[in-house]
Amino acid sequence: MSQIEIETDSEFIQRLPLVHELVRQEAKKHSIDLSDYYFAYCYLDDDECSVTYYDNETGDDSFYLEFDLKNNPPICTTVSINGE
């Protein structure tokens, strides 16, 4: 059995609440109920972040967001709902 090591970067961990709040704000702006979706993945680096949620029923890549984290406050640069 192989063992997987997960490296934790405290700066990365500290930024997750910010990303979560940005996602919640954008979902509200676009009348998205996050309980209808499940979290798929998040890409986060120093300058940008992207977050993808899949629809609970279809499993499609149906709520995608990109954020520019260089700005203060960070801004949402892309919102895709059902591929649009």
13 in a structural domain: no
81 in a structural domain: yes
Please give the tally of structural domains in the chain.
Answer: 1
52 in a structural domain: yes
Note the pTM of the prediction, 2 decimals: 0.76
59 in a structural domain: yes
DSSP string for 2-68: --------HHHHHHHHHHHHHHHHHHHHTT--GGGEEEEEEEE-SSEEEEEEEETTT--EEEEEEEE
* DSSP letter assigned to residue 83: T
21 in a structural domain: no
Higher pLDDT among residues 84 and 35, named by residue: 35
Does the structure show a pLDDT above 70 at 5? no
12 in a structural domain: no
Q: Predicted confidence band at 12 (pLDDT cuts at 50, 70, 90)?
A: low
Domain assignment of residue 54, given as a range: 47-84
82 in a structural domain: yes
Token duo for residue 37: 């979706």
